[in-house]
Chains A and B, each alone.
Chain A
Amino acid sequence: MDQKTGVQDRPSAEPGTAPLLEVAGLVKHFPVRTGGLGRRQVGKVRAVDGLDLAVGVGESLGLVGESGCGKSTTGRLITRLLEPTDGSIRYQGREIGHATRRELAPIRSEIQMIFQDPYSSLNPRQTVGAIVAAPMEINRIDPPGGRKAKVKELLERVGLNPEHYNRFPHEFSGGQRQRVGIARALALRPKLIVADEPVSALDVSIQAQVVNLLQSLQRELDIAFLFIAHDLAVVRHFSERVAVMYLGKIVEVADRDSVYGNPHHPYTHTLLSAVCEPDPDKARGRRALPIGDPPSPLAPPSGCRFRTRCPKAQPLCAEQEPPLAQLAELADGHRVACHFPGPAEDTLTHR
């Protein structure tokens, strides 16, 4: 299988501006080994398998897909918590895919991460002050006025009481803990934040508070976001551009209005048709597409990976993998990886 298909077709954020982050042909395979002494490799999980995306300066890109599609692995590759198997990750024009710890050190302060679980991502034995100050300590940064003053400023910025500096994580609610994680991510004035399902563990009313906070930070501090989430409505609210991921690849990417208003990949149609909206008039009058479970990333289908669940699949789909390409009739930057792209009605009548 050709994993390099995407590479010739270079992604670009907005025409004319160099993207802050550019990922091309990114691959991450996890070996699957036997349990015995030999630890023989018997297969590999193709978590990310030829992924292209770009994030502009100060831009928020949403990455959506089902669980197991590789969106979290993508986040961990970009923050270089994982090393890619193949492909390139360019940050401000510099290749960081295989950079060493030493080379990564200055970049790490500019790319930060916010995690899903506000319980396991904060050290229970450290005070909130120590947690938020840790990035400054590690990078030996002494802000004017001292670290403590800076921590208090950060806590205040994320809507926490700065006097709670000495409290421990267990004294905070889930939403407040997520704010602590956000303050920690802001400590080094990052240029890019990878937020991996930052609100999905929170209750609805708290989720909206945190989304509003992230949105105001993104606008006021001009931070670029890669917002990874499975909730299409939250992503729509937060992201200027949206990439839809399926089994390790991007299948559709465009600005927000195009993805939600004029999607052209059958998988995007499927995802959108499955969303339940809190309005009995919009409630799924139509039935969900009967598409079963996603195939295993251990042995993805040949050709187009979505073909096994796609109502429009043809013999060609099993033979050739469709490239992620700009469609002439669509808005600039609206790219779709499908042999038979079309508006949602097409897909829904095909089932």
Chain B
Amino acid sequence: MPDTPDGAGVLLPKQVAPDSASVPAPDAAILSVRDLTVRFRTEDGVVKAVDGLSFDLARGSTLGIVGESGSGKSVTALSVLGLHNPERTELGGTIRFDGTELIGAPRRTLNRLRGRRISMIFQDALAALSPFYTVGEQIAETYREHMGASRKEAKARAVEMLGRVGIPNPNRRADDYPHHFSGGMRQRAMIAMALVCDPDLLIADEPTTALDVTVQAQILDLIADLQAETGTAIIFITHDLGVIASTVHDVLVMYAGRCVERGTVREVLKDPRHPYTWGLLSSVPELSGSVDLPLRPVRGTPPSLLNPPPGCPFHPRCDYVARVPEHACSLDRPPLELVAGRGSACHLATADKTRIFADEVRPLLG
């Protein structure tokens, strides 16, 4: 069924993407994304929301995708699930989930996977739940649809899941409507619905951004506990470096639709190698340390994706352009070269990156 007529690889020849040469997906990878490009046709032109993104996600692991609005992090998640508007979106590259190609896959294939083996939780739980059905009915429906369970079994499973996500009196609360729940409880209910079929992959798109810090801490603990129990792989999308620090193993930093830095959470936050990551860290006020130092924000604003700057997309905002010879930053797009899953897309020499961070950036962090 030609749902998405423009299938894989139509837009971009594969050799263009910078890290396509990296090792093929290991067998352990539940999700393998290669040279993903997502483009939207708009009135003003074509927006390159994601531009040559590649990553692998091992079973049971947690990957954090960090970036600001418009960096392409949510779009990446939506294309994994095939939730983009096919009339306005052109997808390129490959997304393989446990051996199945998702780009250009027929709707039937996607429907069998979505909610069953891949599920998603969103920022706004009120918008993600239907106001016309009780919370229990919504969770049970997913279970019946995918697992072929009877009404009774599904209802029991919904109550069980509500209990597992920490909703008190799950038997009674299953008959409540979403508006009866507080913000934190709705988020819990949505997590219960996402996990009802024991998916292999959970995509969490800013799941705690709209919540208070106290509730956020509880939800993050809950997600960590459930992952330990079920072994679900998680992609955690957020703009909040603090949330990343306490939840994920690996981090992918996105800027203007590209991955600019990859590594473990410790590598990226303690020894970041990309000037954009430095800028993000310098922008965040801290709870301890000196308060007399002003924050050092990244200057300027993110580029328009209608017309991204040539060369490195970050160069117009970067303070270190002058340290790279021959105007490389404005001419050539820096490749993301990964060594053992670690790397950054920046023209500065690795030794320079380490030295600049240690001598010039870290001393000014709070």
Contact = CB atoms under 8 A, between A and B. Distances in A.
B356 to A, nearest CB: 18
Contacts of B287: 232-233, 236, 260, 272, 275, 277
Interface of B: 68-69, 182-185, 212-218, 220-221, 239-246, 265-266, 269-270, 279-288, 291, 294-299, 301-302
B285 A67 contact: no
Nearest to A205: B298
Contacts of A208: 282-285, 295-298
Interface in A90-144: none
A271 B185 CA distance: 19
A111 B69 CA distance: 33
Given A209-B297, A290-B218, A291-B214, A237 B285 contact: yes
A176 B300 CA distance: 10
B68 A236 contact: no
A85 B241 CA distance: 42
Contacts of A212: 294-295, 297
- Per DSSP, chain B at the interface is helix
Given A203-B68, A233-B286, 4 more contacts: A176-B301, A278-B281, A278-B286, A289-B214
A272 B266 CA distance: 22
A66 B212 contact: yes
Contacts of A2: none
Given A208-B283, A233-B284, A278 B245 contact: yes
Contact of B245 (A230, A270, A272, A283): A283
A173 interface: yes
B213 A275 contact: yes
Contacts of B285: 208, 211, 233-234, 236-237
Contacts of A272: 287
A220 interface: no
A237 B295 contact: yes
Contact of A276 (B243, B282, B298, B302): B243
A281 B218 CA distance: 19
A208 to B, nearest CB: 3
Interface string A265-282: 000001111111111111
A208 B243 CA distance: 18
Contacts of A203: 68-69, 239, 302
B363 to A, nearest CB: 15
Contact of B301 (A175, A260, A282, A283): A175
Contact of A278 (B183, B241, B298): B241
Given A205-B68, A230-B212, A173 B301 contact: yes
A262 interface: no
B8 to A, nearest CB: 32
Contacts of B301: 173, 175-176, 206
A280 B216 CA distance: 17
Contacts of A236: 285, 287, 291
How many of chain A's residues touch chain B, expressed as a range?
35 or more
Given A205-B298, A208-B284, A278-B284, A293 B217 contact: no
Contact of B284 (A204, A206, A215): A204
A227 to B, nearest CB: 12
B263 to A, nearest CB: 12
Given A208-B297, A212-B297, A278 B214 contact: no
Contacts of A281: 270
Nearest to A216: B294
B203 to A, nearest CB: 20
26 contacts: A66-B212, A176-B301, A203-B68, A204-B68, A204-B240, A205-B279, A205-B297, A206-B301, A207-B283, A208-B283, A208-B295, A209-B299, A212-B297, A236-B285, A237-B291, A237-B295, A260-B288, A275-B242, A276-B240, A276-B246, A278-B242, A279-B286, A280-B265, A283-B245, A283-B246, A293-B182
Given A274-B214, A275-B242, A293-B215, A280 B286 contact: no
A299 to B, nearest CB: 15
B292 to A, nearest CB: 10
Contacts of A289: 214
Contacts of B214: 66, 270-271, 274, 288-289, 291
Given A203-B68, A206-B301, A271-B214, A277 B295 contact: no
A284 interface: yes
A287 interface: yes
A256 interface: yes
A272 B214 CA distance: 9
A256 B213 CA distance: 19
B286 A288 contact: no
Contacts of A284: 217, 246
A293 B184 contact: yes
Contacts of A234: 285
Contacts of A232: 213, 287
Q: What 10 pairs between A and B have smallest CB-CB spacing?
A: A276-B242, A288-B217, A208-B297, A278-B241, A208-B283, A237-B285, A274-B217, A283-B246, A208-B295, A205-B298
Contacts of A274: 213-214, 216-217
B242 A277 contact: yes
Contacts of B220: 276, 288
Contacts of A209: 297, 299
Contacts of A276: 213, 216-217, 220, 240, 242-243, 245-246
Nearest to B287: A233
Interface in A242-270: 256, 260, 270
Interface string A182-214: 000000000000000000000111111101100
A49 B237 CA distance: 38
Nearest to B70: A203
A289 B295 CA distance: 30
A211 B291 contact: no
